[in-house]
Amino acid sequence: MGLLWWKCDSMRPMKLFSDYKPHTGLGIFDSMAIIRIYIDDQICLGHVVYQQFFKNILVEGGEFREHYDPSTDQVILSNGKIIENLDLPNSPEVSESEALGIALDSIGAETYAWQNDSLEYWLQQDSVPEMSTYYPNGELVYALIGDRSLDPINYKLAWKYKIYAISPRYYKEVYVDAINGDILKEVPLDDFGDFNHIYYGNKYLDTRWWGGLRNTYYLKANDDGRNIKTRDDTGTGDEDGQWKDKKLVHDDDDHWGNNHWAATSCHHVVQEAWAFFRDTYGQDGFDDNKKEIRVEANVPNPWIFNNVGFSAVNSSFDKITYGAVTIGTNIYATYDVTGHEFTHGKDNSKGERAMVNEGETGSLEESFGDIFGAMTERFAKGSYNWTMKEDANATSRDMQTPENFDQPSWYQTHSNWIDVVGCIPSITNDYCFTHKNDGVQNKYFYLLSMGGAQNLKTVGGVGIDIAAEVTFYSFLHLTESRESYPLAREHAIAAARILYGTCSYVENQVCRAWSACNIGPYCEPCAQSNPCWNKGCGGEAAIFLNTNNLDKKIKYVSIYPNPAKNIVSIKFNELTLSELSQTNAEIKVTDLLGRLKTNIKVNKKDHITTIDISNYESGIYFIVIYDNNGIGYSFKIIKE
């Protein structure tokens, strides 16, 4: 179905597949199940996520999203794919237990996680709440196989297992044909990618004091809502499975110096990545719900790679793992690498199927990691560059010039592009060159941020903050589990239109940047001139203003227009003019870095207070309204 922009008042959320099913391509045995409904933090649109089922069995790649305005209950746009004309059996001839035996025989590990009593015990005691055992349960699905193109001929009924082995390390989804017992595919679930920090010198370290008989500080972060625990696995791996606080790295006086240099370095960069996503996009942790992230430093021989400076994230178990090294070697506890891995964690924790680590989808996932790795570095250091791992003296990938690391700068026709049409993903081809072809979106992001020319096409540039805002919205709310480069272009243009307006300068430059990367036409025609939704996050803030010695609770504040060019209006809907005349509420406007732009008082003679932003540079700002207790309530606005 692709991406659809709906006319005003033509579709209500959650009505398409109930009221209009015969017109959607769904057959009699097809259904679309709602798996998630949420309101985003960036522009306050509502989102409904659907998953396709055929004969009550999940169909991989069959997914759909509706994006709607909660204030008007109108669907603005929708995107996704429906797999039509399926004709498949729904009764397995191989039982769940038989299929698991086949999967385990194919892996041949010495020890699996569920065979370790300590791992199982601590999982039940203090690990992921929805998990009580590592023992894999089979899920019956219609598996997408072959070259992964969404064609009915590429589907087979299969048992799917998530299998975690510890000797040797193995963490993948394994699919077994439910009819003949063949192994159909394996999908990797691990994404690669005051103390003296090994690279950044003396830095703040978020720790906790443990009093009583222990009287020590340990690496547990919870300042500003963070929830991070770090331990040093030197010589032990994670076989003991114990994440109790007594097992964490500790120090007697909280002046760590070079003690536990690897663990403290890892702990610090993860706490900064958390702060970046929280302060910039309002996202708390991987799942945006402050779920605990566990950091493992000095893990011997992590996963299947060399025992040197390797960084991996295993977000299903909410961990970021750093390989074991000796001091002086290249541990990848850097801001950019950690921001990259944190992005993988966010993708895997969105609440629906994450981007599959194969082909163009995997390349785009890697690129999203690079982009927000660079943004994390910029947030933490106040400066950035366009390469990865340079702080660890192990530079890899160049977003400005991907050719420096044999990556393509544009799609399909670049000499470094590797064609993945018909490619069957496997570990030997890096699951169809996921770490090779990511240079295309990296170059797009550079051009969108900084401007420039490529393939005789010029991009004006919008600045790195706006480029990142558009990219993050697309990544979090629009990308599909089987994303392609042409889809990424569509979704980026949609994100720009949602955030900055139809036919805006930003939308035009997004289109130009993708075209310069050999994807799509140079200029995107305007689909609608008068979008029918209210951009921006208005009220639902419980603000208390002092009115005649009584507290007046305001439940809703309107801020409009958003985006705006010259004037932003703030309307206090629930105050009378008499109450307004008695309040001394204060309003501040800050930029993304927290720098004050203006500071005014609420207009006491009108329900509306206006702010002149005509001399602001284009970008993202925050209006902060302070109540009589000095508590601020923040609202994001966009200056066109």
- What pLDDT is recorded for position 631? 64
Q: State residue 225's pLDDT score.
A: 73
pLDDT band at 478 (very low <50, low <70, confident <90, very high): very high
Q: Cα separations (Å) of 332 from 209, 472, 577?
A: 28, 24, 59
CA distance 107 to 123: 23
Domain co-membership, 273 together with 343: yes
- At 151, which amino acid appears? D
Give the end of a domain, one of 479, 502, 533.
533
C-alpha dist (Å) from residue 247 to 70, 120, 219, 229, 240: 46, 17, 10, 10, 10
Residue 510 has what pLDDT?
94
pLDDT of residue 27 exceeding 70, the answer is yes
Q: Give every CB contact of residue 348 below 8 A, 6+ residues apart in sequence.
A: 189, 191, 286, 313, 315, 316, 354
pLDDT at residue 384, as a whole number = 80
Residue among 395, 567, 370, 519 at smallest CA distance from 449:
370
> Do the domain assignments include residue 509?
yes
Three-state secondary structure of 113-173: HHHCHHHHHHHHHHCCCCCCCCCCCCEEEEEECCCCCCCHHHEEEEEEEEEEEEECEEEEE
Residue pLDDT, tens place only, 10-21 = 899 999 998 999
Predicted confidence at residue 379, as pLDDT, reads: 92
Environment class of 630 (CB within 10 Å of its CB; exposed 0-12, middle 13-18, buried 19+): exposed
**Residue 86 is assigned to a structural domain of this protein:** no
* Number of domains composing the chain: 5
Q: The CATH number of the domain where 24 resides is what?
A: 3.10.450
Closest CA to 357 of 561, 239, 192: 192
For residue 620, pLDDT beyond 70: yes
Q: Which amino acid is at 339?
A: G
At 151, is the pLDDT very low, low, confident or very high (cuts 50, 70, 90)?
Answer: very high
Of the segments 113-127, 150-164, 489-503, which one has the largest average pLDDT value? 150-164
Task: Provide the pLDDT for residue 123.
Answer: 65
Question: pTM of the entire structure?
Answer: 0.78
Find out whether 495 and 474 touch, Cβ atoms under 8 Å.
yes
pLDDT band of 164, cuts 50, 70, 90: confident
The answer to which of 95-109, 412-426, 584-598 has the lowest mean pLDDT is: 584-598
> Can you give the pLDDT at residue 314?
45
Name which of 38-52, 104-118, 303-317, 602-616 the model is least confident about.
303-317
Residues 365 and 325 in one domain: no
Task: Determine the Cα–Cα distance for residues 168 and 159; give it in Å rounded to an integer.
Answer: 23
To the nearest whole percent, how much of the chain has pLDDT over 90?
A: 39
Judgement on whether residues 594 and 552 belong to the same structural domain of the protein: yes
Query: What φ, ψ does residue 633 adopt, rounded to 5°?
Result: -120, 120
On whether the CB atoms of residues 212 and 276 are closer than 8 A, the answer is no
Q: Is residue 397 located within the same domain as residue 500?
A: yes
Predicted pLDDT at 54: 96
Q: Output 18-25 pairs: Cβ under 8 A, ≥24 positions apart.
A: 24/82, 25/1, 25/82, 25/84
Beta bridge pairs of residue 183: 176
**Which of 26, 55, 81 finishes a domain?**
81
Q: Beta strands 139-144 and 169-177: pairing type? A: unpaired
Torsion sign (Cα): 206, 211, 214, 215: positive
Q: Is the pLDDT of residue 473 over 90?
A: yes
Q: Is residue 317 part of a domain?
A: yes
pLDDT-based confidence at 317, cuts 50/70/90? low
The answer to whether position 275 is within a domain reads yes
**Per-residue pLDDT, 304:** 34
Return the higher-pLDDT residue of 394 and 150.
Answer: 150
Q: What are the pLDDT digits (tens) for 270-288?
A: 999 998 998 888 888 888 8
> What is the pLDDT of the chain when averaged over all its residues?
81
In a shared domain, residues 436 and 575: no
SS3 507: helix
Task: Give the Cα separation of 178 and 101 in Å (integer).
Answer: 13
Tell whether the model's pLDDT for residue 538 goes beyond 90. Answer: no
- CB neighbour list of residue 145: distance below 8 Å, 6 or more residues apart: 154, 155, 156, 175, 184, 185
337 in Cβ contact with 329 (< 8 Å):
no
How far apart are alpha carbons 177 and 184 in whole angstroms? 6
CATH number reported for the structural domain that contains residue 449 in this entry: 1.10.390.10
Examine residue 88 and state whether it is found in any structural domain, yes or no.
Answer: no
The domain boundary residue, chosen from 46, 81, 116: 81
Residue with tokens 């969108």: 448
- pLDDT at position 238 is 46
User: Of the segments 199-208, 508-517, 542-551, which one has the largest average pLDDT value?
Assistant: 508-517
Which pLDDT value is given to residue 353?
A: 76
Residues 527 and 569 in one domain: no
The band of 176, judged by pLDDT with boundaries at 50, 70 and 90, is very high
Pair 317, 388 in one domain: no
Whether residue 241 sits in one domain with residue 349: yes
Residue-by-residue DSSP string for 295-307:
EEEEESS-TTS-S
pLDDT for res 535: 58
Which residues, other chains included, contact 158 with Cβ-Cβ below 8 Å and sequence gap of 6+? 140, 141, 142, 143, 175, 176, 177, 178, 184
pLDDT in tens, 221-250: 776 678 888 877 765 444 455 556 556 776
Q: What per-residue confidence (pLDDT) applies to 468?
A: 94
Structure tokens at 558: 């309107």
Residue 149 has pLDDT above 60, yes or no: yes
Residue 191 is encoded by which pair of tokens?
Answer: 């994404």
Residue pair 392/330 in contact (Cβ under 8 Å)? The answer is yes
User: Would 395 be classed as within a structural domain?
Assistant: yes
What is the four-CA torsion angle of 220, 226, 227, 228, rounded to 10 degrees? -50
Q: What is the pLDDT of residue 542?
A: 43
Pairing status of strand 311-314 against strand 293-299 = unpaired
Is 357:347 a contact under the CB 8 Å cutoff? Answer: no
> 618: closest CA among 511, 506, 533, 472?
506
Instruction: Tell how strand 139-144 and strand 57-69 pair up.
Output: parallel
- SS3 state at 106: helix
**Residues 623-629: what's their mean pLDDT?**
73
CATH number of the domain encompassing residue 287: 3.10.170.10
Q: Where is pLDDT greater, at 545 or 468?
A: 468
Q: Is position 91 within any domain?
A: no
Q: What is the CATH number of the domain that holds 601?
A: 2.60.40.3080
pLDDT at 533: 63
Tell whether 164 and 206 lie within a shared domain: no
φ/ψ of 606, rounded to 5, equals: -150, 155
pLDDT band for position 208 (50/70/90)?
A: low
State the pLDDT at residue 578: 74
Which domain range does residue 140 map to? Answer: 96-188
Judgement on whether residues 39 and 144 belong to the same structural domain of the protein: no
Give the pLDDT of residue 197.
55
> Is the dihedral angle over the CA atoms 279, 284, 285, 290 positive or is it negative?
positive
Choice between 400 and 254, residue whose per-residue pLDDT is larger: 400
Output the pLDDT for position 528: 47
Q: Is the pLDDT of residue 585 over 60?
A: yes
Residues 66 and 147 in one domain: no
Instruction: Name residue 250's beta-bridge partners.
Output: 218
How far is CA 276 from each of CA 373, 560, 568, rounded to the nearest angstrom? Answer: 10, 27, 27
Q: Which is it for the CA torsion 376, 382, 386, 391, positive or negative?
A: negative
Same domain, residue pair 429 and 526:
yes
- Using the predicted structure, report yes or no on whether residue 309 has a pLDDT greater than 50: no
- Would residue 89 count as lying in a domain? no
Short-list 87, 79, 78, 92, CA closest to 30: 87
Q: Between 596 and 102, where is the model more confident?
A: 102
The predicted-structure confidence for 45-64, as pLDDT tens digits, reads as follows: 889 999 999 999 999 999 99
192 has a pLDDT exceeding 80 = no
Nearest alpha-carbon partner for 275 in 206, 213, 324: 206
- How many CB atoms lie under 10 A from the CB of residue 476? 20
The edge-to-edge listing of strands for the beta sheet with 608-612 is: 557-560, 567-572, 608-612
Q: Tell me the pairing of strands 319-323 and 293-299.
A: parallel
